[in-house]
Amino acid sequence: MTISSSLNAGVAGLSSNATRLATISDNIANSSTYGYKRVEADFQSLVISSSGGSYSAGGVRSTTQRLVNERGTLVSTSNATDLAVRGRGMLPVALANQVEAGNPQMLLTTTGSFRTDSEGRLVTNSGLVLMGWPAASDGTIPTFPRDSPDGLEPVQINMNQLTGTPTTEISFGVNLPATETEAGAAGTPIPMSVEYFDNLGKSESISVEFTPTVPGAGTSNEWTMVMTDSAQGGAVIGEYTLTFDDSRTSGGTLLSVATVSGGAYDPVTGSVIVGVDGGPMEVNIGLLGASDGMSQLGDSFAPLLISKDGSPVGSMVSVDVDGNGYVRATFDTGVTRTIYQVPLVDVPNPNGMVAMDQQTYLPSPDSGSFFLWNAGEGPTGEVVSYAREESATDVAGELTDMIQTQRAYSSNAKVIQTVDEMLQETTNIKR
């Protein structure tokens, strides 16, 4: 009977609008929740086929969807490990209790306020542990699978960590006095010492002595460079004969380097390899004909540029995360080292993911397969530190929707009331 279908349609309308009101109330309740993604209710009409000219009301059905792809506004904070994602992609996290049990499941979120716990792991107050790829001892990130969470570990910060980086390369930018290679010069050797750090972070030094070749007449433009290592009791680790150019166009630059002992001079790199106590070390003295290495000009000795890599032992003082997701530790020696990389996870359909507690999401067949990208590469955005993502809820819009829902609910209730009155009239016919 058509009047009965009207009653059913009214009941369906009440149920659907109640569902919409539930989504609105959820959105408003989480208007101050960082990283919250609003839920949207959608209505679909139901059409029931009819015959004989009578119409049967099908009613309405509601469905809900969480709009994970919508992003809230980023706001700045004072904590270096408050993280948010600008653009596409999500941060990998895991529940702290699952990490403790050794079987963490990768969840995804777009923001989090991470701070170190008693184990040094970066954890939110709600128990979400930030996951990342650990760096090798030299600060590089090994190759890990990109279609699997295998290789992801809790990002753990050891603020009591000490580190020291051995020196593997030294560069000399030294000017030798041209007047010392002229006939009648004193021929006094010129000493120089360069500090380096061994494999245990201890300070050692390479002593370099430049001895000019004094000719009987004219100018030789030749020097003997002898290097000794303090870690080996002053043993000679390299001896070289340096000849400088005196032409109009290239005067004062290296003309040739002859090896007496130690590693041979490489004209392509402008360096020699010498053996200090801790292993091989590259000493760059400059390319032939170039002006940025060793030179022979004027009448004064000038160590213009002495540079080296490596660092002494230092303590970790701070940690931050850059836009590419690299977690970098800074030590009191001024050295910065990469200790983890946090990838950004992307799926074809973010709205198809399963919503979990604490603004986390789980990839599903509806979302498609996930892929772990380097932040800032491919379709993903960048990681922003000192920032949180606000709720995606627009309170003004939700209140407007609430008014519409209230009116629709009242109208459906009126339909039910009218049908009841009509059925009462039908019952009164018998009287």
Cα 230 to Cα 8, 196, 206, 281, 431: the distances in Å are 95, 10, 6, 14, 120
Residues whose CB is less than 8 angstroms from the CB of residue 401 and which lie 6 or more positions away in sequence, other chains included:
20, 24
In the 8-state DSSP scheme, what is residue 131? E
Domains for the chain: give ranges and CATH numbers: 2-67+392-428 (no CATH), 74-163+314-389 (no CATH), 167-309 (2.60.98.20)
Average pLDDT of span 392-408: 92
Report pLDDT for 49.
Answer: 63
Please, how many CA atoms are within 13 Å of residue 230, restricted to the half-sphere of its CB? Answer: 14
The model's confidence at residue 53, banded by pLDDT at 50, 70 and 90, is: low
- Give the pTM: 0.72
Q: What are phi and psi of 210, to 5 degrees?
A: -105, 115
Calculate the average pLDDT of the chain: 90
Cα separation of 219 and 181, whole Å? 6
The model's confidence at residue 224, banded by pLDDT at 50, 70 and 90, is: very high
Report yes or no: 274 and 280 within 8 Å, Cβ to Cβ: yes
The model's confidence at residue 3, banded by pLDDT at 50, 70 and 90, is: confident
Single-letter amino acid, residue 260: V
Report yes or no: 220 and 241 within 8 Å, Cβ to Cβ: no
Residue 417 CA from chain centroid, whole number:
61
Cα 217 to Cα 182, 183, 248, 374, 423: the distances in Å are 7, 5, 21, 65, 131
Lowest mean pLDDT among 31-35, 247-251, 338-342, 408-412: 408-412
- Residues 272-318 have pLDDT tens digits of 999 999 899 999 999 999 888 899 999 999 998 899 988 888 777 88
Asked whether residue 118 carries a pLDDT value surpassing 90, the answer given is no
Average pLDDT of span 209-230: 94
The model's confidence at residue 247, banded by pLDDT at 50, 70 and 90, is: very high
Single-letter amino acid, residue 176: L
- Residues 149-168 have pLDDT tens digits of 999 999 998 876 667 788 99
Report pLDDT for 316.
Answer: 79
In the three-class reduction of DSSP (H, G, I as helix; E, B as strand; rest coil), residue 8 is classed as helix
Report pLDDT for 52.
Answer: 61
Asked whether residue 190 carries a pLDDT value surpassing 80, the answer given is yes
Report pLDDT for 128.
Answer: 95
Cα separation of 221 and 208, whole Å? 18
Cα separation of 1 and 13, whole Å? 19
